[in-house]
Structure 1
Amino acid sequence: MAEPSSPSPSMASPDHIDDTTGANNTGILRPPPLRSFRED
């Protein structure tokens, strides 16, 4: 269920973890999922 990129999904949501991990990860992981969901 949790992504391998996330260090501890149980601690907080994947979005939150990505943000804390690094802006690079968020910029690449956030746009694709958001657009895919909206398009669907």
Structure 2
Amino acid sequence: MSRGALRRRKAYPARHSQHSEEVPGALVEIEVTAAKVKH
């Protein structure tokens, strides 16, 4: 795993850790923001 992926793993909740390895960090960030807006 790249260092960037490790850093993203720490930045996001555990439930998003599987995404951080597959999707770019920015995309994950958008996803997290969208989830917050929905709730």
Note whether the superposition's TM-score is higher than 0.5: no
What TM-score do the two structures reach when normalised by structure 1?
Answer: 0.38
| Greater relative CO, 1 or 2 (CA 8 Å, sep 6+) | 2
Compare CA radii of gyration and give the structure with the larger one.
1
TM-score w.r.t. the length of structure 2 is: 0.38
Structure richer in helix, relative to its length:
2
